Structure 1
């Protein structure tokens, strides 16, 4: 391998790793009146991927609690949380990001779990073992998934 090819490969690796290096860690998120102005990744989210995250039980599973008319194929949507139709008309991008990351900063009595939160829990469990966790649990969603969900929510207008 020539030195030039090696340098091109190194440059490509650094460029492709940059978004991961730019991610804001859960404990470093800055809230202002419940809103989070700065993107967690520095890159725009993918609305299509956000819709997938919202309807996948092993990921966000937002539809377990929220109804979304734009998703008519979802069977048995929940009604614990507010309907998300028109979410982009009710909240700004920064407010939506803050709500997805940790809704309790906007709605203190909310049942919604913090999707990008790793600390501040009272004795979190270790999976389904019946034992306390040794450390902070991982966030429910990754930074990129939060941005994807926010991007999808921004498509929901009245």
Structure 2
């Protein structure tokens, strides 16, 4: 009986580890622009998402969007829609799709795809003026996307 319990526990740990693996940017499944499955297999951290949205070195969402909750962040943009009420306007799956690659839902969007690694015309290597190398990755990690989505869902009217 003891070995059965250990075997079941081991299978449970392996299944949890497999479930928690990140979905690669090229394997994300969009349905009408929405992404229903978590990209990281882990819940998002809204507090960290708030930091990413307001950090000009990470998500830099405030370069184009205004967020009243981030009033302490200067020079917020007016190109994209105000993010106040984003949690009421869009579902979690829609927000995940928009942050991952807004162009799938909004074809003419100027918003960068934060979880994309292919299909670019001329990607660069950061701000070096050189072409991208083999280390070209998404702008945000799967967990960072989940954190941003968790924060955006808290923004209610």
TM-score, normalising length: structure 2: 0.85
C-alpha spacing 1:52/1:20, structure 2 compared with 1 (3 Å) = farther
Check conservation: 1:118, 1:136, Cα contact below 8 A: no
Q: 2:53 maps to what in 1?
A: 54
Q: 1:126 maps to what in 2?
A: 125
How far residue 21 of structure 1 moved from its aligned partner, in angstroms, is: 5.7
Write out per-residue CA displacement over residues 77-130 of structure 1, whole angstroms, 9 at most, x where no aligned residue: 111110001001110000000000000011111110000111110021223343
Check conservation: 2:28, 2:35, Cα contact below 8 A: yes
Number of equivalences: 145
Check conservation: 2:20, 2:42, Cα contact below 8 A: no
How far, CA to CA, are the matches of 1:123 and 1:96 in structure 2?
27
How far, CA to CA, are the matches of 2:115 and 2:33 in structure 1?
14
The answer on 1:113 being equivalent to 2:120 is: no
How far residue 134 of structure 1 moved from its aligned partner, in angstroms, is: 3.5
C-alpha spacing 1:21/1:38, structure 2 compared with 1 (3 Å) = closer
Q: 1:32 maps to what in 2?
A: 31
Check conservation: 1:19, 1:43, Cα contact below 8 A: no
The answer on 1:152 being equivalent to 2:151 is: yes
How far residue 56 of structure 1 moved from its aligned partner, in angstroms, is: 1.1
C-alpha spacing 1:110/1:104, structure 2 compared with 1 (3 Å) = same
Check conservation: 2:20, 2:41, Cα contact below 8 A: no
Q: 1:142 maps to what in 2?
A: 141
C-alpha spacing 1:150/1:19, structure 2 compared with 1 (3 Å) = farther
TM-score, normalising length: structure 1: 0.84
How far, CA to CA, are the matches of 2:148 and 2:71 in structure 1?
18
How far residue 60 of structure 1 moved from its aligned partner, in angstroms, is: 0.2
How far residue 137 of structure 1 moved from its aligned partner, in angstroms, is: 2.1
Check conservation: 2:19, 2:41, Cα contact below 8 A: no
Which structure 2 segments of 5+ residues have no match? 1-9
